[in-house]
Amino acid sequence: MNNPFDPGHIQEEKAEREARRLKLRTNLLIALFCAVLGGFMAVLYQTQIVSGASYRSSTNTHITRSEQVDSIRGEILDRYGRMLVTNEVSYNVTLDWDAMGKDRIAILTRLLEISREEGVEWTDTMPLSKTAPWSFTTDTPFSYQDKDDDGEPVTVVTSLGRLSKKCGLVKNPETESMPASDWYAAICQAFGLVEKGEAPTQAHRELAGVLYELYLRLQEVNNNAYVFARGVDITFITKVKENGLDGVRIQTATSRRYETNYAAHILGVTGAITRESAEHYRELGYPGNATVGRDGLELAFEERLHGASGSRLMELDNEGNITSQEWRTEPEPGENAVLTLDIALQATVEDILAQYAARQDEQKPMAAAVVDMTGGVLALASYPTYDLSTFWENYSDLSTDNENRPLFNRATRGLYAPGSTFKPLTAIAALSSGTITPTERVECTGKYLFYSDPGSQPACWIWPGRHGFENVTKAITDSCNLFFYDVGRRTTIATLQEYASKFGLGEYTGIEIPEEKGRVAGPETNAAFDQPWYDGDTMYAAIGQGNNAFTPLQLANYVATLVNGGNHYACHLLKEFKSSDYSAVTEVYDEAPLNTIDLDPAHVQAVKQGMYDLSKTWSMARYFDSLPVEVGCKTGTAETSSHAASTNAVFVCFAPYDDPQVALCLVAEGGDAGGSLAELAAGILAQYFSTDGSLNTAAGENTLLP
């Protein structure tokens, strides 16, 4: 019998227990290994056998794409750092043809339904009427005649013609034509919207417009990316996401935000690259879908505001979703433009023009220009105007308003006879050329009798009265026509033309936005209008009539040149450029005068005195005496026809009289007399000098104070 307390027996039992535990652990490890191996095999089976085809398809459709990315556009500020134009984040809708796949018609149909529900306008440039009966919206849908760089005639095939040829609808766009209804039926068939022989309906038109945009790019007729809609809101985005529309992408972008309702004609708008400018921007390295300046300073400063576009590599899955991206070159934001413009003064000028126009029986177009003594533009207004923030929504109405022409910038492009505001120019030309002296007098008898022919004896405006003996100073104050008839005739048209040119009249001012050159009356100008030139025409040219025609900006700058002593500067809106983060000034506008006119200070004083005395007459003093500065001014009533059936009111002035800082010009189309604009000029000067040009000065965030 074994003794349970025998040490050997105890050791034997302990060994047996250890063996059993080891066997149990081994079995558990084997079971766990088998379970893991089974799971791994199951995953491999699911991946390679069950879902293999799907994964292979997904892998095969991954696309690596290079994309150019627009930079952040620079901001625009006024001379005191007040923000005028900045940026805000917006959302654009783009379409991916491949990602939409076979369901693209259904996807686009639903997308258009959502767009209509949310009031979103989409891009549709197909040149076909939106409703039946179908007609082309251009006279040259397939091709048009143009000239090459050598002036030789050449046929240009339009995008519509190229697409039609690609789709086999038109074999030779240069020579063939097709009725719009037949083309519409054929294009809808090519797009798969209707069967052969089936007539498309109104319901197909919207789909056809979107497919047209996609096909242009699919057939490489248009290389610009197709942005279906811009600036969509969160409600629209949510609906698109909820409907799971493959190939419909929502992309973030920046759009312009206008911090002012004023200066529309100056600032301009941005938009997509046009067909005409595509090659130019391609050479600059812009992406095809870049947003660029379309007019105003947005266009004039485009390359500085735009910055440098970047480039990135993107990987997309078979549904068109971006799975990864890598920057090759990061975009560089544009510079910020600081203007000479004083937005507070600009607002005052625009409001004054609108209020004056509203008081008239019939609202008439108006314009104003305010410049400093070195050509810097402080304000530039054209009435009627428009709202930049709703420009594209209202573009159709704005562009077709041929009566009011709100898009036309009258301040730089409107050409007006200066009337008597030209008389200071005639005076300084006569004085500087030695034709008269400051003290020489001419007798005004009411009619100018130098010519024996009664038909060549023009009357002074005071007729049947008379001014009597007038020197140059008093003649300017009285605006005596007869004095300037005689002095102008003696000075000669050639000398008047010479001095007009020196003062910038009939010449481009140099301003950065579009302007007209204007014209100075003379034999050459008359010849251009197929009109003869007579010696007596010099008399009318001397008082600002005839074929004299200048912009309000030219007239304001000519007055500035006169009262600053003869330094003729180019007009400009740029004060300086600053780096994108406002940490440095990258360029300062600092141009020397275009020319300096050799003027005798005594002659300038004689002319200035006449303009000052006019401001002290009863008709003017009631407006100017309350100002904190003294003013010199000149009125003008310019005939717009040979029978004086209608006139334009013109008014120029400068201030302060003893140390001129600003000069301005006002024009009212169809106005009665230049003196009627004195009240407006006084209101503009009151705002400028009462605030010293610094009303509501506020620097934007990260802005360097001037």
CA–CA dist 325, 315 (Å, integer): 6
Q: Span 514-531, mean pLDDT?
A: 96
604: tokens are: 């300038």
Q: Identity (one letter) of the amino acid at 60?
A: N
The DSSP result for 359-385, as a single string, is HSSS---EEEEEEETTSBEEEEEEES-
CA–CA dist 611, 615 (Å, integer): 7
Backbone angles phi, psi at 583, to 5 degrees: -80, -15
Buried/exposed code over 92-113 (b: 16+ C-beta within 10 A; e: otherwise) = bbbbbeebbeeebeebbebbbe
Domain positions in the chain: 124-225, 343-691
4: tokens are: 């349970």
The pLDDT value recorded for residue 5 is 53
632: tokens are: 């010199």
The pLDDT value recorded for residue 63 is 64
Answer for the pair 109, 116: CB distance below 8 angstroms, yes or no: no
pLDDT band, residue 568 (cuts 50/70/90): very high
Average pLDDT, the chain: 87
How many Å separate Cα 33 from the centre of its chain? 73
CA–CA dist 492, 495 (Å, integer): 6
Q: At what angle do helices 203-218 and 180-190 cross, to 10 degrees?
A: 70
Give strand pairing partners of 577: 337, 587
The pLDDT value recorded for residue 701 is 34
pLDDT band, residue 560 (cuts 50/70/90): very high
CA–CA dist 410, 366 (Å, integer): 7
Q: Identity (one letter) of the amino acid at 50?
A: V
The pLDDT value recorded for residue 37 is 77
Closest CA to 662 of 675, 653, 672: 653
Tens of pLDDT, residues 574-592: 999 999 999 999 999 999 9
pLDDT band, residue 3 (cuts 50/70/90): low
Residue 372 Cα distances to 326, 569, 661, angstroms = 50, 10, 6
CA–CA dist 480, 488 (Å, integer): 12
CA–CA dist 462, 429 (Å, integer): 24
Answer for the pair 249, 371: CB distance below 8 angstroms, yes or no: no
| Segment among 118-132, 319-333, 601-615 with least mean pLDDT | 319-333
Q: Ranked by mean pLDDT, which of 142-156, 306-320, 438-452 comes out on top?
A: 438-452
CA–CA dist 77, 340 (Å, integer): 9
pTM of the model: 0.78
Answer for the pair 580, 72: CB distance below 8 angstroms, yes or no: yes
The pLDDT value recorded for residue 224 is 63
Structure letter (DSSP) for residue 512: S
Q: Identity (one letter) of the amino acid at 381?
A: A
Q: Identity (one letter) of the amino acid at 578?
A: K
Q: At what angle do helices 104-118 and 203-218 cross, to 10 degrees?
A: 120
Give strand pairing partners of 310: 69
CA–CA dist 438, 605 (Å, integer): 9
Answer for the pair 309, 286: CB distance below 8 angstroms, yes or no: yes
The pLDDT value recorded for residue 693 is 44
Question: What is the Cα Rg of the chain in Å?
Answer: 38
CA–CA dist 430, 433 (Å, integer): 5
CA–CA dist 94, 89 (Å, integer): 16
Q: Span 491-514, mean pLDDT?
A: 97
User: What CATH number should be reported for the domain whose range is 343-691?
Assistant: 3.40.710.10
Closest CA to 283 of 301, 265, 311, 303: 303
The pLDDT value recorded for residue 393 is 80
Give strand pairing partners of 248: 95
Tens of pLDDT, residues 216-253: 888 877 666 678 998 898 999 999 999 989 889 888 88
CA–CA dist 291, 254 (Å, integer): 9
Q: Is the pLDDT of residue 483 over 90?
A: yes
Q: Identity (one letter) of the amino acid at 592?
A: A
Q: Is the pLDDT of residue 407 over 50?
A: yes
Buried/exposed code over 382-410 (b: 16+ C-beta within 10 A; e: otherwise) = bbbbbebbebbeeeeebeeeeeeebbbbb
Q: Is the pLDDT of residue 10 over 90?
A: no
Backbone angles phi, psi at 441, to 5 degrees: -115, 145
Q: Is the pLDDT of residue 696 over 70?
A: no
Tens of pLDDT, residues 188-198: 999 999 998 88
Q: Is the pLDDT of residue 96 over 50?
A: yes
Query: Element (H or E) spanning 155, and its range?
Result: strand 153-157
Q: Is the pLDDT of residue 263 over 70?
A: yes
